Amino acid sequence: MSETAADDPIVALQSKFPSANARESLDHPAVNVPVADAVAVLEWLRDEQGYNFLVDVTAIDWSEDVSPRFSAVWHLYSMTHHGYIRVVTDCVDDADPVAPTVTHLWPSADWHERETWDLMGVKFENHPDLRRILMWDGYPHHPLRKEFPLAGIETELPDIEVAEETQAKVIAAPMMGGPFVASNKGEMNLTDAEPRAKDESWNEKLPKPE
């Protein structure tokens, strides 16, 4: 690994991949790369520049009015020179966004990519087992997309036992509540200082079925 990676990883990256563009960032070095180059860039950063730890994989939903609407994001950390780098690529298809898997580079990407698929609807091509990790199989929505309401969407429960325990066949999944409002500032314990939802009916204890 050259010293350039620690001093200016974007310069080192652009010398190898001219298609990479520096990205504005308030914390760590960040770069935009074409989706076709994403895996090669990430592998080069791992093998040649010492970014050997995959911190996370996530995605951004910019807006329904923006195209490309979705971007995939990788955060890497170097255990050699103790620095981070953010790699971002735009997903081409707004209706069915796709990004390449990096599970062959970092096995830990498995769960990160499943979570991003579950909550944002970004499919990771060639993932070995891309299925939901938080919501149930067959759930028709992606709860972190911009159009998904904070209060949830009424959805039929797939498990009869859960439905019986809640005395309902449908719930506002993932959870009712919101919009959230900040609690009053001042001297109080931390629990009371947590933000409160205007609708907290989901938090009320239901009577046990007879």
Predicted confidence band of residue 2 (pLDDT cuts 50, 70, 90): very low
- Minimal CA–CA distance to 153: which of 141, 168, 135, 136? 141
Question: Domain span at residue 97?
Answer: 3-125
Is residue 81 a contact partner of residue 6, using CB atoms and an 8 Å limit? yes
Q: What is the mean pLDDT of residues 46-55?
A: 97
Specify if 87 maps to a domain: yes
Is residue 144 a contact partner of residue 116, using CB atoms and an 8 Å limit? no
Predicted confidence band of residue 75 (pLDDT cuts 50, 70, 90): very high
Q: Based on the domain organization, do 14 and 113 belong to the same domain?
A: yes
Q: Based on the domain organization, do 66 and 167 belong to the same domain?
A: no
Q: Return the percentage of the chain with pLDDT > 90, whole number.
A: 64
Specify if 131 maps to a domain: no
Q: Based on the domain organization, do 53 and 106 belong to the same domain?
A: yes
d(CA 10, CA 20): 8
- What confidence tens digit (pLDDT) does each residue in 92-108 have? 899 999 999 999 999 99
pLDDT given at position 173:
75
Q: What is the mean pLDDT of residues 70-88?
A: 96
Q: In 3-state terms, what secondary structure has residue 23? A: coil
Q: Based on the domain organization, do 113 and 46 belong to the same domain?
A: yes
Q: Return the percentage of the chain with pLDDT > 70, whole number.
A: 74
Predicted confidence band of residue 137 (pLDDT cuts 50, 70, 90): confident
Specify if 27 maps to a domain: yes
Q: Based on the domain organization, do 172 and 68 belong to the same domain?
A: no
Distances (CA, A) of 144 to 10, 66, 101, 205, 206: 30, 16, 20, 26, 27
For the domain that residue 27 is a member of, what is the CATH number?
Answer: 3.30.460.80
Q: Based on the domain organization, do 14 and 105 belong to the same domain?
A: yes
- What confidence tens digit (pLDDT) does each residue in 150-181 have? 888 888 877 666 566 566 667 677 755 444 44
The number of folded domains in the chain is 2
Q: Based on the domain organization, do 117 and 198 belong to the same domain?
A: no
Q: Based on the domain organization, do 121 and 157 belong to the same domain?
A: no
Q: Based on the domain organization, do 116 and 166 belong to the same domain?
A: no
Q: Based on the domain organization, do 110 and 186 belong to the same domain?
A: no
d(CA 202, CA 143): 17
pTM: 0.78
Cis status, amide bond into 174, omega within 30 of 0: yes
Q: Is the pLDDT of residue 52 over 50?
A: yes
